[in-house]
Amino acid sequence: MKNNPTDEKKTRRDFIHITSGVTVATGLVAAGWPLIDQMNPSADVLALATVEVDLEPLQPGQSISVLWRGKPLFIRYRTDEEISKAEDIDVNSLKDPQLDKDRAQNSKYLVMIGVCTHLGCVPLGQEGEYGGWFCPCHGSHYDTSGRIRKGPAPTNLEIPPYVFLDETTIKIG
């Protein structure tokens, strides 16, 4: 076919067909994107992706759970005892070493996502061998800083992105 005498004509014809083919393919891809993107979080869901929480009513030793992005969020006003337990520890001995000050911006308030890093159950508060959280599903024990100490969970309880807007108000997300 390469030695065809009408080579030049062929190239021109091919050019038109290639243009058509590329155009149709482009059109299909462009039309496909909205069909994929529609499954991404919608505007109303994104609007709830940041929540503001007022910590004023919390007393030492009290916890609240807030729903954030469909997951429970544990916010605990820790007692001095809990704080010292969380700080006085050799982090290198931990499964997932992390300093308590890296986990709590203000050491009084511990804010974390209440989902066990093992298989997604919600741990129970102030339970387990370390006085922190205990996951009833497969027996993971977390300490008062939410770090994994014993059990199958691979990592510490996750800390969401948050900032203190003032002394007692935080914005999560």
Partner 1 sequence: MSNTKNGKGVIGWIDYRLPIFSTLQHTLVDYPTPKNLNYWWNFGSLAGIFLMIQIVTGIVLAMHYTPSVEGAFASIEHIMRDVNYGWLIRYIHMNGASFFFIVVYIHIFRGLYYGSYKSPREVLWWLGLIILLLMMATAFMGYVLPWGQMSFWGATVITNLFSAVPVVGTAVVEWLWGGFAVDNALLNRFFALHYLFPFLIVGVVILHIVALHTHGSNNPLGIDRKGPQDSIPFHPYYTIKDLFGLSFVLTIFAAVVFYAPDFLGHPDNYIPADPLKTPAHIVPEWYFLPFYAILRAVPDKLGGVIAMISAILILFALPWLDTSKVRSATFRPIYKKFFWLLFIDVIILTWVGGSPAEGHFILIGQLATIYYFAHFIILMPIIGIIETPRPLPNSISESVLNKPIKG
Partner 2 sequence: MKNYYQIIKIFFISFIFINTFFCKAFAAGPDAKITKMNFSFDGIFGVIDKASARRGLQVYNEICAGCHSLEHVAYRNLLDIGFSSDQVKEFASQFEVMGEPDSDGEVNMRSAIPSDRFVSPYLNDNQAKAYNNGAIPPDLSLIIKARAGGASYFYSLLKGYEDVPEDKEPINGYYNIAYPGNVIAMPQPLYGDDVEYEDGTEATMEQEIIDLVSFLAWTAQPELNDRKSMGFRVFLFLVFMTSVLFLSYRKIWKKIKG
> What's phi and psi for 148, nearest 5 deg?
-75, 130
- Pair 10, 3: CB distance under 8 Å: no
Residue ranges in 119-148 that form contacts with partner 2 under rule CB under 8 A: none
Find where tokens 């499964």 sit: 95
3-state secondary structure of 135: strand
Catalytic residues: 138
Alpha helices in the chain, H assignment, sequence order:
7-37, 43-47, 80-87, 100-103
Residue ranges in 31-60 that form contacts with partner 2 under rule CB under 8 A: 43-44, 47-48, 52
Q: Is 1 in the site for partner 2 (CB under 8 A)?
A: no
Q: Is 101 in the site for partner 2 (CB under 8 A)?
A: no
CA distance 112 to 76: 9
- Give which of partner 1, partner 2, none residue 29 binds (C-beta under 5 to 8 Å, depending on kind): none
Task: Output the smallest distance, CB 50 to partner 2, in A.
Answer: 9
Task: Output the smallest distance, CB 42 to partner 1, in A.
Answer: 4
Residues in contact with partner 1 by CB under 8 A are 24, 34-35, 37-40, 42-45
Task: Output the smallest distance, CB 68 to partner 2, in A.
Answer: 13
Helix count and strand count (H, E) for the chain: 4, 10
Which residues in this chain contact partner 2 in the complex, by CB under 8 A?
Answer: 13, 16-17, 19-20, 23-24, 26-27, 30, 43-44, 47-48, 52
